[in-house]
Structure 1
């Protein structure tokens, strides 16, 4: 008897394995202010947050694009929990591959926001 293989669920999202994450992809993902704000929020909360948690000044389709870039670059992990798409920062993977990078970028972003009078 042949084993039964099931097609992946349409609700499963593709993520790169740790060894597939590339520095240039991470830097590209973090170079956009919208995506950087999402990552900053995830780092500050230290837990998964639903997509609806984020109030971004862009259309829904653009928001979807930003989350896809973050996921495909290996910066975040997205999973469905019921009807909510949850987002978590892949801090362990990023810290293992690029020690200090995430903390440095987040500190620089916070310093810039403070310098420019933001939050």
Structure 2
């Protein structure tokens, strides 16, 4: 049985950001954003079922995804309408940052080195 999904007004920013702070969950959201509703088993390969189950629960409980049973599988979809209503532009900003290779994805210290003044000679 699938746990209750939070209502739109119960979706909290800190829970959404915490859920999307994990690179694997962010990949899942990216797949759902581009591919629409997907079965649990078709989203990512090479990840154990127990690990994926944990990530589905975190995303569902935070209000990021819908999860519904369909036969022997569960189908997942992004709660884009709810997220856009609660936090306008947040989902698009996160997805655009991931797809464009945001500075946050750069190696540690890369931005600091680029802005450092040259050493005196």
Same fold? TM cut 0.5: yes
> In 2, distance between residues paired with 1:12 and 1:108?
31
Pairing partner for 2:70 from 81, 84, 87: 81
- Does the Cα contact within 8 Å between 2:84 and 2:91 map onto a contact in 1? yes
- Does the Cα contact within 8 Å between 2:37 and 2:77 map onto a contact in 1? yes
Q: Which structure would you say has the larger Rg?
A: 2
The unaligned stretches of length 5 or more in structure 2 are: 107-121
Alignment-derived partner of residue 48 in structure 1 = 37
Alignment-derived partner of residue 26 in structure 2 = 36
- Does the Cα contact within 8 Å between 1:71 and 1:78 map onto a contact in 2? yes
Q: How many residues are matched?
A: 104
The unaligned stretches of length 5 or more in structure 1 are: 1-10
Q: CA deviation at 1:12?
A: 3.8
- Does the Cα contact within 8 Å between 2:64 and 2:78 map onto a contact in 1? yes
- After the TM superposition, which segments of 4 or more aligned residues of structure 1 sit over 4 Å from their partners? none
- 3-state secondary structure, aligned to 1:52: helix
Alignment-derived partner of residue 96 in structure 1 = 85
Q: CA deviation at 1:59?
A: 2.2
- Does the Cα contact within 8 Å between 1:74 and 1:90 map onto a contact in 2? yes
Q: CA deviation at 1:108?
A: 0.2
* TM-score under structure 1 length normalisation: 0.81
Q: CA deviation at 1:56?
A: 4.4
Q: CA deviation at 1:54?
A: 1.7
